[in-house]
């Protein structure tokens, strides 16, 4: 075989960049299981899937915003998540019969928050990072007014759903996998998805092609807010209620899972499936480091180092 043919064969066998999160997550699961014993394998995987599902939902919304073009990002995600959770819990007031109105209220909060974010970006000509950060303080203030320091309890049905199992299989991660499938179809098979990626690749070219760039980005921000709101709704049921700090962990994680999952920060390229690999990586890494009894400072250092190493070794698409 010629050297050129060998290189081509190696290229065909190489992993796609978005699969690296899955590979590293699998390695961490094996390492944790080897240390803690085979009996912990199922519980470790189930925990990573359960907590990873929340990261996937909020990351899917963030992916749409980031894919819409350079500089687009939503830093209000944690505050929208918290506010939507408080509003939903207040509407339901612990009643199982008000689950649907509570969900509708949460999603409405997310959609309005996304629209307000984009309005500040366009009307005030603010960079997205500034506009969304400013709105995050407003949303967090509203959340405090709804519940203060208290934890608003969810209805029993919502809590039961987030913990529901069929045999040994958790239902909620499966439902989120369906959501990921919807996102894949949205990106690849719908006009909105194609217009979103075209806008991210070149705003000028998209305009010349007749794409209403402003409308596309507005919808992306609204969907991001809606995804954050859905995360807050589900997380309230999973953790026992809405609380002021419930969204804190998702500020940087919602961005990290998108980038590590194969979405380009320059826009125009998105990968919904890869978010699962990155989310599992983050959750299994935390489990592994806790199992190995690393101190908090060391865990943060190793987390940052691992992220840098993965981003550095993942091959990047060649310019056409």
Task: Note down pLDDT in tens along the chain; length 320 residues.
Answer: 455 554 554 444 467 777 888 998 999 999 999 988 888 888 899 889 999 999 999 999 999 999 999 999 999 999 999 999 999 999 999 999 999 999 999 999 999 999 999 999 999 999 999 999 999 999 999 998 877 666 789 999 999 999 998 877 889 999 999 999 999 999 999 999 999 999 999 999 999 999 999 999 999 999 999 999 999 999 999 999 999 899 988 988 899 899 889 898 888 999 999 999 999 998 998 888 888 888 777 767 877 777 777 666 655 544 33
Question: Global pTM?
Answer: 0.89
Contact 102, 88 (CB under 8 A): yes
Length of the chain: 320
Q: Which CATH architecture best describes the domain 51-313? A: Orthogonal Bundle (1.10)
Contact 236, 227 (CB under 8 A): no
Calculate ∠ Cα 6-15-175, nearest 5°. 155
**Strand partners of residue 166:** 169
- Please report, for the chain, the start and end positions of each structural domain, with discontinuous segments joined by +: 51-313
Quote the CA–CA distance of 112 and 100 in Å, as a whole number: 18
């Amino acid at each position: 075989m010629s050297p050129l043919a060998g290189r081509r064969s190696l290229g065909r066998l190489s992993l796609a960049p978005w699969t690296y999160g899955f590979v590293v997550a699998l390695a961490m699961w094996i390492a944790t299981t080897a240390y803690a014993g085979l009996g912990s394998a199922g519980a470790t995987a189930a925990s990573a899937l359960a907590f990873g599902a929340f990261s996937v939902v909020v990351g899917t919304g963030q992916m749409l915003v980031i894919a819409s073009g350079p500089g687009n990002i939503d830093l209000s995600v944690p505050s929208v998540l918290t506010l939507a959770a408080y509003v939903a819990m207040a509407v339901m007031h612990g009643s199982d019969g008000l689950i649907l109105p509570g969900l509708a209220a949460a999603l409405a909060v997310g959609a309005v928050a996304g629209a307000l974010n984009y309005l500040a970006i366009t009307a005030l000509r603010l960079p997205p990072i500034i506009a969304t950060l400013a709105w995050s303080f407003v949303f967090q203030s509203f959340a405090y007014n709804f519940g203060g320091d208290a934890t608003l309890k969810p209805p029993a049905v919502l809590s039961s759903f987030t913990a529901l199992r069929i045999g040994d299989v958790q239902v909620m991660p499966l439902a989120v996998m369906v959501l990921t499938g919807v996102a894949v179809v949205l990106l690849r098979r719908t006009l909105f998805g194609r217009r979103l990626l075209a806008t991210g690749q070149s705003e000028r070219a998209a305009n010349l092609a007749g794409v209403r760039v402003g409308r596309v980005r507005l919808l992306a921000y609204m969907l991001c807010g809606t995804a954050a709101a859905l995360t807050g709704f589900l997380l309230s049921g999973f953790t026992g209620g809405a609380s002021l700090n419930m969204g804190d962990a998702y500020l940087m994680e919602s961005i990290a899972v998108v980038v590590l999952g194969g979405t380009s920060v320059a826009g125009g390229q998105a990968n919904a499936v890869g978010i699962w690999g990155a989310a599992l990586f983050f959750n299994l890494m935390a489990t592994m480091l806790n199992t190995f009894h690393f101190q908090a400072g060391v865990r943060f250092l190793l987390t940052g180092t691992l992220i840098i190493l993965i981003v550095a070794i993942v091959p990047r698409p060649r310019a056409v």
